[in-house]
Amino acid sequence: MKYSGRIVIISVVVILILAIRIYGVVYYNYPPFQFPLIGVFIVIASWLLGTQYDKLKFLSERDVLTTLYNRRFMLHTFPKLIASVDRKQEKLILYFIDVDDFKIINDTRGHKIGDQVLQRIANVLMLHSQKRDVVVRWAGDEFLVLSSFSDDRSKAMMISRIQNELKLSSQEFNIAISVSIGTAAYPNEAQTLDDLLHVADQDMYTLKSDNKKVSE
């Protein structure tokens, strides 16, 4: 949770207190070095108020379980991302990540382990994402990553790093943990969020189908 609300409100309050103190010293001969007891109480109250603001902002933007951005944040931010991409004449790639056989994990190992698996996947996605990337828990066992697109090689490398990291997690949890990842590129393959999701979803299910054929 960031401190933006607390920093802003404390900065404003401190500036106001200093302005009032200077005014009192200049025009009312107020002792300049008297301990600002009332000011201290106001600062503490402002910090607590800023804390509540930061908590509300966090809950409005973040998924509680994984601390990734949530669907609401994504829907609100996507138009701004597209505007930035268009302005810089860049490309954007959407990774649509679905946890394989997650229902089986919940049914056989329980929801507590299931939650831990989702948290681990979220950590892996954050670990292998760039600072500018937006990582989202989209719904249940589905995640999104929005990233600047460079080339197919870098895309394949990112997917490979995620899968390899999850293989190590499988050993730790003593359970098979893997994901299917579909992709869609803006603006080449789609221009809206719904269309990008559709293209990436179709790509993901094609990969799932191909993997099942290989395993049979």
What is the DSSP secondary structure assignment for residue 69, as one 8-state letter?
A: B
Cα(96)–Cα(41) distance, integer angstroms? 49
CB atoms within 10 A of CB 126: 14
Is 141 in the active site? yes
> CA of 124: how far to CAs of 92, 119, 163, 169, in Å?
21, 9, 9, 9
Please choose, from the candidates 186, 178, 183, 185, the residue with its C-alpha nearest in 3D space to the C-alpha of residue 211: 178
Determine the number of helices (DSSP H) and then strands (DSSP E) in the chain: 7, 4
One-letter amino acid of 175: I
Quickly list H helices, 36-70. Answer: 37-61
Cα–Cα distance, 55 to 67 (Å, whole number): 12
How far does the chain reach from its first CA to its final CA, in angstroms?
Answer: 46
Active-site position among 54, 63, 98, 141: 141
H helices present in 29-149, as ranges = 37-61, 71-88, 102-109, 111-127
Strand partners, 148: 92
Which residues are catalytic, by number? 141
